[in-house]
Each structure stands twice: as structure tokens, then as C-alpha cells.
A and B are shown apart, each in its own frame.
Chain A
């Protein structure tokens, strides 16, 4: 009696284990399918970039029969992508450096000093994260027009930095708040001034937070579209997303070239994502949750 009840319990728990393995397996299959569906548009993009126009719509789901590598060189030339990349690199790097330096400096002040209106300033910066960027397009256009900055790199760099500052300050300040006070006190006794403490102690120590800020800012500046659309009309100054959007409208029916151009533009961001995905996920979430 005792033995049989024991064995039945064993077999029922074994059954439950089986069931759990089964459902676990099904869940894994479903998750894999979801991931593949998510990745599919991108796979399709890369596959189509190697095809001929004819194969693009006659065999959309198959691999190309012969790989048209020259699509990429053609797309690079026809879309003038070298120039667009150059513009994007300049705008991104200058905006990035300015956001990091200005943001870290403000974060240091807000994290380490007590002064009047400090809470007011912090609230003001926080407010910036709630403001929809598009609602400033019209007044910024009027402003840029008045100060004759339309169709210059600065028309992009200055608003990019301004809109990135709240997140940069928020992430860096939160990180600096965790440093013990003794570090600076020791430096102050040695006669190091505030600028010295900032440059030689706070900046290097904040490197992890700053790298998160930098990666997020890179992605945002590199991909930004609406400011470029409104502030830049000179072909020589077009950034990558803007020039791609123009190219895609102009060459709408030359599918292989459009696909090749899109693939080329996506490669840098994918590489950055593959290297820094942990930073990117955590940073985007932290940046999103702040409000």
C-alpha cells in the first residue's frame, strides 16, 4: 500500500516533469519563431540587396541565385553616400563630444555642490525629457532662420546637443552620486582645483556612465531624421537618413539599388549594436524610464 502510493506519486511527478518539458519546448519554438519574424525584415533587406530587380519580385523569399556584389558599389556611387556619410560623421562626432563634455560638467555641479535653485534646475532639465521633439520643429526653424543657421552643420548640432543634455545629465549625475566624498576631499587637500578634480577624477571615474551616454547619443544622432528634414535642404549637407529618404523616393523602382543603399547605411548601427548591446538596452531603458 505504502509502496504503491509512493510509486504513483513518483510517476505522477514524472508525468508533470514530462509535461513541463513539453510546454517548455513549445514555448521555445514559439519564441524562436517570434525572433525570426522580428529579424525577417532585416534578413530580407540584406538578401534583396544582392538580387537583380527581376529576382527581387519573382523570388522574394529565396536566396539570390547569383550574388550581385556590384549593387553595393553602384548604390554607393549613385546615392552619393560617401558625402552623406561624411556629413553624418561630422555632425555625430561634434554633437557627441559637446554633449559629453557639457553634460558631464553640469552633472558634476549638480551632483557635488549645494546651491540655491539647484532643485529648480534639475526639474527644468527633467522637463525636457517630457517634451515631444516634433513640437519644437516650427519655432526652431524660425529661430534658425533668424540667426542664419539654416543649412549649416550647427543647425543640427546645437539642437541635437540641447535635446540630449537632459538624458546625459540624468545618467551621469546618478552615477556620480554613488562616488564617496573622500576622493575629492583628498584631491582638494592636495590643492587640486574644481576643474582639476572634474578633469582628472570625475571624468575618468564616470567612464562607464559616459560610455552609455555616448552610445545612446551616437545612435540618436546617426539616425535622426526630422530636424535634418526641416533644417537642411542643401544637397551637399544632407545626412545619411535624409539622403536615403530622398534616394528611396527618386529610385523607388530600382529596388536592388535602394536595398543595397539601405543595407550599407544599416551596417554601422548593427555593428555598434552587436558590440554594445548590453549598454544600449540598459541605457535606452534608463533613458526611457526617467520621466
Chain B
């Protein structure tokens, strides 16, 4: 009787260990998948940031040029206004 009990206990322990190892491996796999997914997300978001930094840099240059253009245009309009005033004198 005692022998049988011992065998059952040992069997339970062995089976539990196997189940634990299987579940643990599954968990490790899930972690690996999560890690791969995060790696992909990191790559994608870094690419997106690089693109957007380029876009921002370009639009800042365009806006700076536009500001200069507007200032020059304003000066030109002022000179036209002067000419018109001279004609009216």
C-alpha cells in the first residue's frame, strides 16, 4: 500500500514538472513573440520619426524662404506705392 502511494506521489510530481516545463516554454515563446513585435514597432516608429523630422526640417526651410519672399514683396509694393504717389503729385 505504502509503495503504491509513493509511486503515485512520484508520478504526480513528475507529471506536474512536465506540465510546468511545457507551460514555462509557452510563456517564453510568448515573451519571444512579444519581443519581436516590439522590435518591429520600434523599427517602424523610428522610421516614421526620421521621415517626420525630414518633413519638419523642409517645411521650416520653406517657411523661412516664404517669410523672406513676403518681406521682399512688401518692399516692392511699397516702391510701387511711392511711384503712384509721385505720379499723383
Partners in one complex: no
